[in-house]
């Protein structure tokens, strides 16, 4: 029997494909509004995703640029201002473009809600970004669906540090083995593992080929029961598996088998 009592949702890459056409575009807009010639193309942005957190990402990029301010204080002030502008642009973009949730996400959130399984947001992204994305898809009362919302501002150390998961679990009053984290990136998986939370990985555009060790299951997304390791119970016919989404019972099955399955690299 699975003791699964909570789902801990990552945001960027897991709830929605926000990076290339959302965050990246907003960073470039911020550079432009400050008269800077810097631009991040899709490939460079992929490299920079190794750094979690937008302000931290700006600092890491500036460390590679000869034309960035030399004084640490000035560099930090520039990163803060760029990030402020980037957040304003990103939230507007999310609201206007209505970046879609990944298929299968809304159905699983609704199913968990209906069954009384608790849910949390566990992300390194800023609170304003989460508010914009979830507000677009679930309306102004979106917070009612979640029992804990932990964002970048709420922690001292962002993923891959486990703090975000520890904080969410404390609020929920649960132990790590009572929950499953849904993640897409190496940093997210590392953070969950460091908090001893079992992780299910839904591969995203930027991390499709990443090495993700220690997950209890890895697959292409919540919209399909095909292509998962370990294979989902009962998904014998490929055609059926393609059409069916991952359900709470599937998560329970992986969760209850977690000691039996090996790690997936
Ligand atoms: C992904 C991130 C975030 C965003 C940018 O977070 O690393 O930093 O790329 O957001 P997760 P901010 O997958 O944990 O949701 O600019 O607001 O930091
Ligand atoms: Mg992510």
More confident site: 243 or 124: 124
- Which ligand approaches the C-alpha of residue 122 most closely? 1
Least confident of 25-39, 47-61, 150-164, 211-225: 211-225
Across the range 34-57, mean pLDDT stands at 97
Nearest one of 177, 149, 150, 153 to 164, comparing CA atoms: 150
Cα of 236 vs centre of ligand 2, distance in Å, is: 30
In a 10 Å sphere around its CB, with 0-12 CB exposed, 13-18 middle and 19+ buried, how is residue 16 labelled?
Answer: buried
- Average per-residue pLDDT for the chain: 93
| Beta partners for residue 120, in sequence order | 8, 148
Round to whole Å and give the CA distance between 183 and 190.
10
Q: State the average pLDDT over residues 97-108.
A: 94
Are both 6-17+99-262 and 19-97 of the same fold? no
For residue 196, pLDDT over 90 is answered with yes
Residue nearest to atom 7 of ligand 1 (CA): 52
Residue nearest to atom 13 of ligand 1 (CA): 12
pLDDT of residue 256: 92
| Mean pLDDT along residues 180-205 | 97
* pLDDT level of residue 265 (50, 70, 90 thresholds): very low
Q: Which atom of ligand 1 is found nearest the CA of 128?
A: 17
Predicted pLDDT at 62: 98
Q: In sequence order, what are the residues at sequence separation of 6 or more whose Cβ sits closer than 8 angstroms to the Cβ of residue 71?
A: none
Tokens of 154: 């709420």
**pLDDT for the residue 98:** 77
> What is residue 217's DSSP assignment?
E
Atom of ligand 1 nearest to the CA of 14: 13
Return the bridge partners of 181, or none: 8, 199
* Cα 188 to ligand 2 centre (Å): 6
Closest ligand 1 atom to Cα of 13:
13
Q: How confident is the model at residue 235 (pLDDT cuts 50, 70, 90)?
A: low
| pLDDT value of residue 257 | 87
Q: What is the number of the ligand closest to the CA of 210? A: 2
* Ligand found nearest the CA of 48: 1
Closest CA to 48 of 33, 38, 59: 59
What is residue 246's three-state secondary structure? coil
* CA 70 to each of CA 25, 35, 120: distance values in angstroms, whole numbers, following the listed order: 26, 18, 40
Residue 53 CA: which ligand 1 atom is closest? 8
pLDDT of residue 113: 96
pLDDT at 210: 80
User: Is residue 147 among the annotated active site residues?
Assistant: no
Decide: 4 and 251 in contact? Cβ < 8 Å: yes
55 C-alpha to ligand 1 centroid (Å) = 9
Residues of the chain with pLDDT > 90: what percent?
88
**Which residues are near ligand 1 (CB < 6 Å)?**
10-13, 19, 23, 52-54, 123-126, 129, 152, 159, 185, 188
Domain boundaries, the chain: 6-17+99-262, 19-97
pLDDT given at position 264: 47
Residue 15: pLDDT band with limits 50, 70, 90: very high
pLDDT value of residue 237:
59
Upstream peptide bond of 160 is cis (omega within 30 degrees of 0) = yes
Domain 19-97: assigned CATH number: 1.10.150.240
Mutate to test the pocket of ligand 1, among 14, 27, 57, 89 (most ligand atoms within 8 A of CB): 57
Sheet arrangement for strand 118-122:
148-150, 118-122, 6-9, 179-183, 199-202, 217-219
- What is the CATH architecture assignment of 6-17+99-262? 3-Layer(aba) Sandwich (3.40)
Half-sphere exposure of 50 (CA within 13 A, CB side): 8
What separation in Å is there between the alpha carbon of 241 and the centre of ligand 1? 32
pLDDT tens digits, residue range 129-188?
999 999 999 999 999 999 999 999 999 999 999 999 999 999 999 999 999 999 999 999
Catalytic residue of the set 10, 131, 161, 178? 10
Q: What is the DSSP string of 165-207?
A: HHHHHHHHT--GGGEEEEE-SHHHHHHHHHTT--EEEE--STT
How far CA 155 is from CA of 121, 125, 161, 175, in Å, comes to 13, 11, 9, 19
The pLDDT score that the predictor gives to residue 1 is 62
CA of 183 to the centre of ligand 2 (A): 6
Cα–Cα distance between 264 and 51 in angstroms, integer?
23
């Amino acid at each position: 029997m699975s003791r699964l009592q909570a789902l801990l949702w990552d945001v960027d890459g897991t709830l929605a494909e926000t990076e290339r056409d959302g965050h990246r575009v907003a960073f470039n807009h911020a550079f432009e509004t400050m008269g800077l010639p810097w631009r991040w193309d899709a490939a460079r942005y992929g490299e920079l995703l190794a750094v979690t957190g937008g302000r931290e990402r700006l600092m890491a990029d500036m460390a590679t640029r000869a034309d960035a301010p030399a004084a640490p204080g000035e560099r930090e002030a520039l990163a803060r201002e760029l990030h402020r502008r980037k957040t304003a642009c990103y939230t507007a973009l999310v609201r206007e473009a209505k970046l879609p949730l990944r298929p299968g996400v809304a159905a699983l959130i609704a199913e968990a809600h209906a069954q009384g399984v608790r849910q949390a947001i566990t992300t390194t992204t800023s609170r304003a970004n989460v508010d914009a994305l979830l507000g677009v898809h679930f309306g102004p009362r979106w917070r009612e669906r979640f029992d804990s919302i932990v964002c970048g501002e709420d922690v001292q150390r962002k993923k891959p540090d486990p703090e975000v998961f520890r904080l969410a679990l404390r609020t929920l009053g649960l132990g790590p083995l009572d929950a499953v984290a849904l993640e897409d990136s190496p940093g997210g998986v590392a953070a969950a593992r460091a908090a001893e939370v079992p992780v299910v990985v839904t591969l995203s555009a930027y991390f499709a080929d990443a090495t993700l060790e220690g997950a209890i299951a890895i697959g292409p997304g919540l919209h399909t029961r095909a292509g998962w390791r370990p294979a989902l119970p009962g998904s014998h016919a490929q055609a059926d598996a393609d059409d069916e989404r991952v359900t709470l019972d599937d998560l329970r099955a992986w969760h209850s088998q977690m000691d039996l399955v090996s790690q997936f690299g």
